[in-house]
Amino acid sequence: MSVALDITLCALVLGVGWATVAGHGVFRAVIFFITYGLLLAIVWARLGAYDVALAEAAISAGLTGVLLLAAHGRLRRLNASQEVPLHLNLPAAVVAVGIAAGLGWAWFALPAPTAPDLSQALPQSGVGNPVTAVLLNFRAWDTLLESVILLAALLGLWMLARDHAWDKPLGLPYHARPGGVLASFGRVLPPIGLIFGVYLVWAGADTTGGAFQGGTVLAAVCLVTIMAGVLHAPRVEQAAWRAALVLGPGVFVLSGIAGAVFAQGFLALPPALAKPAIVTIEAALTVSIAVTLVLLVIGPPDEGEQDA
């Protein structure tokens, strides 16, 4: 019975993946991509990787979906072509097939890695969730650089702003009828979403969850309130929002330097202090991730007049 389910899931993932790439219009491709993300999340859950499943559903299907839909909306307003050219892009196909073949060869040629036994190191990490232990203690480098990459992506996006729009609110203005369906949704959802987002971060120390998943949920809540017209979109110059952007990477780097001075090395956490340090870093990271994702989705400062 479960084998049949797995085979169906695999077929669905492959079929929807193919439909995403081979579709005719941009909108179709976006919708298939979101479906693809949700199916992948189910696959991860079937494999028992609940942390990855949550991240896949929240970031890949949810947030990236909103990003792509917003991009599609902008394209449509500019009257850009919605047709995806159907002819084969030969250089891209050669590169893609080459990479796939190389990865396939490596999969069979390389010896299976012997993962270090986490169960012995886990008690020293300060947390009970092995994923969080790896992300914030054993391989903190990767996570630190990831948080900086998010920030760099946002700076790259802001570079697209026109000079005279720099002090305008971020993104295009959103309209919602006061007292309408979207406006009430923007008031009903946030309390539940806030609790769930903070819970995901807090629970991430010992069970499924973490800064990225929780941050994405908080970002989604913030986006809904902005789109519903309950909150105003921030401006680039507002110091509090900028501080929120650098809080996570800042706290992370400072704790890394503290590790270099007082412990064995950069980003090293002494076992006695590991738990409070990880919770502090995760809390700061969550704020930065949430704010960065919100600002990435609503886009660069824009007066929005040329679209009218």
Partner 1 sequence: MADLATYLLTGLGLVFFIAGTVGLVRFPDQFSRLHALTKGDNLGLGFIALGVAFQAESWAQLAMLALIWVLALLAAGTVAQLVARAALTEQDKP
In the complex, minimum distance from the CB of residue 180 to partner 1, in angstroms, rounded to a whole number: 8
Residue 56 CB, nearest approach to partner 1 (Å):
18
**Which positions from 116 through 135 interact with partner 1, judged by CB under 8 A?**
none
Closer residue to partner 1, CB minimum distance, 180 or 271: 180
| Positions 62 through 81 that interact with partner 1 (CB under 8 A) | none
What is the smallest separation between the CB atom of 170 and partner 1, expressed in angstroms?
A: 22
| CB contact set of 177 (below 8 Å; sequence gap of 6+) | 183
**11 vs 181, beta carbon nearer partner 1:** 181
CA distance 62 to 57: 6
Q: Which residue, 4 or 109, has its beta carbon nearer to partner 1?
A: 4
Cβ distance to partner 1 smaller for residue 121 or 231: 231
- Of 193 and 301, the one with the shorter C-beta distance to partner 1 is 193
Report the residue number, 188 or 260, with the smaller CB distance to partner 1.
188
> Whose CA is closest to 226, among 146, 148, 171, 270?
171
Site string for partner 1, 169-208 (x = CB under 8 A): ------------xx--x--xx--x----------------
Q: How far is the CB of 242 from partner 1 (least distance, A)?
A: 32
Phi and psi of 265, rounded to 5°? Answer: 175, 180
Identify the helix (H) or strand (E) that includes residue 175: none
Q: What is the closest distance, in whole angstroms, from the C-beta atom of residue 67 to partner 1 in the complex?
A: 18
Please state, in angstroms and rounded to a whole number, the distance separating the CA atoms of residues 73 and 69: 6
Q: Which is nearer to partner 1, 87 or 175 (CB)?
A: 175
Within 13 Å, how many C-alpha atoms sit on residue 38's CB side?
A: 9
Residue 112 belongs to what H/E stretch?
A: none
What is the closest distance, in whole angstroms, from the C-beta atom of residue 184 to partner 1 in the complex?
8
List the one residue out of 227, 232, 247, 236 whose CA is nearest residue 290: 247
**Nearest alpha carbon to residue 143 among 290, 263, 289:** 289
Distances in whole angstroms, Cα of residue 86 to Cα of each of 21, 30, 246: 10, 16, 43
Closest CB to partner 1 among 139 and 187?
Answer: 187
Nearest alpha-carbon partner for 259 in 169, 126, 147: 126
Instruction: Kindly write out the interface string for residues 270-289 of this chain, putting x where it contacts partner 1 by CB under 8 A and - elsewhere.
Output: --------------------
- Judged by CB under 8 A, the number of residues near partner 1 is 6
Q: How far is the CB of 227 from partner 1 (least distance, A)?
A: 10
Sign, Cα dihedral of 299, 228, 245, 52: negative
Tokens 């800064």 locate to 211
Distance CA 244, CA 292 (A): 9
Supply the minimum distance, in Å, between the C-beta of residue 186 and partner 1: 10
> Which residues neighbour 274 within 8 Å (Cβ) at sequence distance 6 or greater?
124, 125, 126, 127, 137
Half-sphere exposure of 256 (CA within 13 A, CB side): 18
Beta carbon of residue 11, minimum distance to partner 1 (angstroms, whole number)? 18
Q: Which is nearer to partner 1, 158 or 185 (CB)?
A: 185
Residues lying near partner 1 in the complex (CB under 8 A): 181-182, 185, 188-189, 192
